Amino acid sequence: MAAYQSILAYDGTEFAGFQRQARRRTVQGVLEQALRRLGWTERALVAAGRTDRGAHARGQVIAFRLAWRRSPAELTAALNAHLPGDVSVRETRPADEGFHPRYSAVRRCYSYSLTAAPTRDPLAERFAWRIWPALDDAAIRAACPVLLGEHDFRAFGPAPRKDGGTRRTVFRSEWQTEGGGRTYRIEADAFLYRMVRRIVSALVSVGRGDVGPEVLMSLLEDPARRWQGSLAPAHGLCLDAVIYEESGDSTGGHPLAGRADGTQE
């Protein structure tokens, strides 16, 4: 029996999140069903993170053990043959002994998509939060660098574990615009529970003129204050990549050898 790791993409719209739940359709649930059809016997697969209900991924990573005598490419094809249309295995490769998609990760990369339009666009809004009136992009860009570096991000979410710390290091925080679309990209060593969705909510409030960029700094300096705004909707969020060594490419979603502790969004 060999160890494998796979990179996944999925449309989270029709899923009740990643983690398996009784009587609810989840990404983990359909993946484990597909694996069992190939003779998989473990109790549960392990993943880099547990995305929220409605959130998407193009770089989720899972690991499992399987008695498989053919190539990893054929394993990818076999899994995809048993998966529904809203989940796809992009790549499978052998995993080193001791590899864990969550605890071996050194960085995670998320994007959050928004669209600026006065009327609904059903095609765009499956994967983006529609905002109107349009935001002040310059104000948001000025606020993004405030989040860079190591800070206590407790104002933007609790630790995934009850006894976990809330200090995180953000390596990338960028606001990009193209036509009516806006994308926020953030890369960090790990994330607190729903941290990205709270940060996006705060940045949108800056773009609307409801608060100034200095509010983000004050929340980092005094995390006991907590962000009081609503969560950005889950359907704009996408897990783009999980990185397993410091030299890894944060845009490709390909796991590389390495070790570090990580948490989830």
199: enclosing H helix or E strand: helix 195-208
Give me the DSSP letters along 124-145.
GGGSSEEESSPP-HHHHHHHGG
Catalytic residue ranges: 52
Written as six digits, the tokens of 193 are: 């529970």
Does 133 sit behind a cis peptide bond, omega within 30 degrees of 0 on the bond before it?
yes
Name which of 89, 103, 124 is nearest 4 in CA terms: 89
Ramachandran bin of 127, using left for φ above 0, alpha for ψ from -120 to 50, beta for the remaining angles: alpha
126 touches 53 (CB < 8 A): no
Integer angstrom CA distances of residue 124 from 7, 119, 130: 25, 11, 8
Question: What is d(CA 169, CA 149) in angstroms, rounded to the nearest whole number?
Answer: 5
153 touches 192 (CB < 8 A): yes
Hey, which residues does 151 pair with through a beta bridge? Answer: 168
Question: What is d(CA 134, CA 24) in angstroms, rounded to the nearest whole number?
Answer: 37
Written as six digits, the tokens of 33 are: 């069903």
30 touches 83 (CB < 8 A): yes
